[in-house]
């Protein structure tokens, strides 16, 4: 039995550290017990440890980048425009629709005035805007083919037309600013 010089606890004779306080035990002569160094343990220099830590950090960064890039919406998904063919109902979280009626080609900028979505198309279309019910909406639609047919634009909020305008000018342009 080996008595701990710090706390007086009686440890087994094979104990290297005190079972009570974890103090390094000494033998009866006052010499510290020889500790055998294991060759299979983590006996490496500080440089190797730094390289391993940096390697782990780089692998974690690459993994984060991969997950982040694969969870982001595509450019088309982030435009906040949904083409509506009328076959499904939109929830009240998307209260605004834009209905463009024209037989030729046109160009439009629509949505929140700070984040306008740009669309160029041909023929009549209906778009659901990703704008909250309290936001401002701005529409700017212009003919691209200099046609003389009527260009008509309606802003619909929760199923009701809240603003509309039309033109038959060859270079017709319709601008609507709506504040709820």
Other CB atoms within a 10 A radius of the CB of residue 141 amount to 23
C-beta of residue 171 within 8 angstroms of C-beta of residue 146:
yes
49 lies in some domain: no
pLDDT confidence band for 173 (50 / 70 / 90) = very high
pLDDT confidence band for 98 (50 / 70 / 90) = very high
C-beta of residue 165 within 8 angstroms of C-beta of residue 174:
yes
pLDDT confidence band for 58 (50 / 70 / 90) = very high
Strands 2-3 and 105-112: unpaired
Query: Do 169 and 87 have their domain in common?
Result: yes
Q: What is the pLDDT of residues 101-127, one digit of tens each?
A: 999 999 999 988 888 889 999 999 998
Number of domains in the chain: 2
- Domain extent, residue 29, equals 1-40
101 lies in some domain: yes
Report which of residues 148 and 141 the model is more confident about: 141
Q: Mean of the pLDDT values across residues 19-47?
A: 64
Largest CA-CA distance found in the chain, in angstroms, rounded: 111
93 lies in some domain: yes
Enumerate the H helices of the chain as residue ranges: 46-71
What pLDDT does residue 153 have?
96
The b/e string for 58-97 (b: 16+ C-beta within 10 A; e otherwise) is: eeeeeeeeeeeeeeeeeeeeeebbeebeeeeeeeeebbbb
pLDDT at 67 over 60: yes
Prediction pTM value? 0.49
54 lies in some domain: no
C-beta of residue 1 within 8 angstroms of C-beta of residue 11:
yes
């Amino acid at each position: 039995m080996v008595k701990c010089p710090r706390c007086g606890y009686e440890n087994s004779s094979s104990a290297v550290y005190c079972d009570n306080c974890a103090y390094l035990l000494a033998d009866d002569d006052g010499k510290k017990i020889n500790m055998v160094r294991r060759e299979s343990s983590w006996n490496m220099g500080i440089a190797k440890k730094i390289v391993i830590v940096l390697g782990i950090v780089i692998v974690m960064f690459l993994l984060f980048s991969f997950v982040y890039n694969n969870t982001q919406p595509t450019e088309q998904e982030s435009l906040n425009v949904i083409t509506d063919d009328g076959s499904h109902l939109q929830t009240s979280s998307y209260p605004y629709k834009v209905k463009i009626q024209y037989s030729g080609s046109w160009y439009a900028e629509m949505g929140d005035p700070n984040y306008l979505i740009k669309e160029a198309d041909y023929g009549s279309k209906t778009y659901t805007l990703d704008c909250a019910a309290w936001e401002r909406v701005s529409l700017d639609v212009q003919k691209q083919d200099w046609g003389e047919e009527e260009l008509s634009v309606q802003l619909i909020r929760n199923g009701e037309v809240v603003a509309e305008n039309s033109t038959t000018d060859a270079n017709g342009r319709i601008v609507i600013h709506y504040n709820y």
